[in-house]
Amino acid sequence: MILNNSLNKVAILIPTKGRSLFVIRLLNYYQSVQCPHPLYIGDASEQKYATMMQTHISKLNISVHYFNWENIGPNQTIVMLAQEAFNDSVKYCAFHGDDDYFIPQSLFNAAEFLSKNPTYTTCQGRAALFTLDRPGAYGNLASVDDYWGENELDQDNPINRLKYFLDNYFVLQFSTHRTLEFLHSSEAYMRIKNDSLGELMHCWTFAISGKSKFIDCLYLIRHSHPAVNHLPMLDLLLNPTWSLDIESIKEALTNQLSRKEKISNDEAFMIVMDVLKRTILNAVLSSNQNLFRRVLISIKSMLSRHIKEKVRIMLVAESSLSILQSKKSIYFEQFKPVLDSMKSDV
C-alpha cells in the first residue's frame, strides 16, 4: 500500500528520444501501480512519435505531463522538466532514464526525510540493475543484481564531502531533491554538451550543495543494456566539445565552492583542479578493470541459467537484490509490477 502524502509528491523527470516502446513500458508500469507522483516527460523525438505518445497517455489515469521538445539535449531537457514541476508547485523531484523505474512509496519516504532534515539536499535508497535476454524494451529477465549499494554523504564540510565523493561516487542525479535546490544546482549543468561530463559535473555540484541520506528501502530499478558501450576516456578527451565543457565545469565549481566555503577563488580552483585530475586518472585506470569485468561476465553467462538461479536463491539473504524475482525476496511485491511490465509487449 502506498502511503500518499500530497505535500511530499515527487516529480519524476524523464528525458527521452526515439524510444517510444521504453516510454510506453514505464507508463504502463506507473499505471499498474497507480503512481501518485506526477510524471514529467521531455521527448526530443519527431512529431510523429509525439502524436503516438500523446494518444497512449490519454488512456491513462495517472498524472503525466508530456512535452515534445524536438532535438533538445538530455541535460537541457532534465532542467526544463524540473522547471515545469516547480511551476506546478511540486516541491520535490527525481530523475531517471526512460528505461528505469522508481518505487513510488520510496519516493515518499525520501521526500519525507528531506522535509524534516534541511541540512540534507538529497536522499536515496537501494537500487537494482537488471538485464533482459534480448535487446529492446521487452523480454525475459536474464539477470538482476545490486546497482549502487548503500550510499550517503554525511560530512558537514563541503570540501570533505567532495573529496569523499571522488572515491565513493554514485549518481546523485537519481536521488530525490527539493525542486528549487535542483534548479539552483543546474544552471551551469545546462551548458555542458557532453553527457558523461554533464553527469559528473551535476553530481559534484549536488555533493558540494549539501549532505545526502541513505534510507533502507528499494528505491530505483535500472535497465542495463550489454550492447551499450560508453566512450573510453581517450575518445572523450579528443571530443571537440571537451575543452569548452571542462572550462565551464572549472568555472562553475570554483565559484560554487568559493561561495559555499567562503574561501578565495584561487583556493577553490586548486581543489577543483585536483578533482578533475583524480577523476581522469581513475577513469583511465578503471578501463582495464572494466575489460576484466566483461570477461568475467561472459564466463558467468556460460553457466546454466537454471543452475545459477537455484544456487542464488538458496544462498543469498532475503534482502539481497539478486533474488528480486523470487518470492523469497522481501522486495518481491515491489519488483513484480516491474517484471510484469517487461514481459507484456503492446
Do residues 114 and 92 lie in contact, with contact meaning Cβ atoms separated by under 8 Å? yes
The DSSP line for 1-19 is -----GGG-EEEEEEESS-
**CA proximity to 56, closest of 85, 26, 89, 79:** 26
Which amino acid is located at 279 in the chain? Answer: T
The DSSP line for 108-125 is HHHHHHHHH-TTEEEEEE
42: left (phi over 0), alpha (psi -120 to 50) or beta: beta
**CA proximity to 91, closest of 194, 206, 5:** 5
Q: pLDDT digit of tens for each residue in the chain (346 aa)?
A: 455 567 899 999 999 999 999 999 999 999 999 999 999 999 999 888 888 899 999 999 999 999 999 989 999 999 999 999 999 999 999 999 999 999 999 999 999 999 999 999 999 999 999 999 999 999 999 999 999 999 999 999 999 999 999 889 999 999 999 999 999 999 999 988 888 889 999 999 999 999 999 999 999 999 997 655 555 555 556 566 778 888 999 999 999 999 999 999 999 999 999 988 888 777 666 554 444 444 444 434 444 454 455 444 444 567 788 788 888 889 999 999 999 999 865 4
Q: What is the DSSP letter of 221?
A: E
User: What are the extents of the domains in the chain?
Assistant: 6-231+321-343
**CA proximity to 173, closest of 94, 232, 239, 235:** 94
Helix axes 158-167, 242-261, angle to 10 degrees: 140
Task: Work out whether the CA dihedral 196, 200, 203, 205 comes out positive or negative.
Answer: negative
DSSP-derived pairing of the beta strands 120-132 and 211-223:
parallel
Architecture (CATH level 2) of domain 6-231+321-343: Alpha-Beta Complex (3.90)
Q: Which pLDDT does position 195 carry in this prediction?
A: 85
Helix or strand holding residue 71 (H, E): none
> pTM for the whole thing?
0.87
Q: What is the Rg, in whole angstroms, of the alpha carbon atoms belonging to the chain? A: 20
Do residues 57 and 27 lie in contact, with contact meaning Cβ atoms separated by under 8 Å? yes
Which amino acid is located at 79 in the chain? Answer: V
Q: Which pLDDT does position 303 carry in this prediction?
A: 43
Provide CB contacts within 8 A for 25, sequence distance 6+.
Answer: 99, 137, 138, 341, 342
Cα(27)–Cα(277) distance, integer angstroms: 41
Helices then strands, each counted (H, E), the chain: 12, 9
Q: Which pLDDT does position 294 carry in this prediction?
A: 42
Q: Helix, strand, or coil here: 180?
A: helix
Do residues 18 and 334 lie in contact, with contact meaning Cβ atoms separated by under 8 Å? no
- If you search the block for the grid coordinates 495517472, which residue do you land on? 62
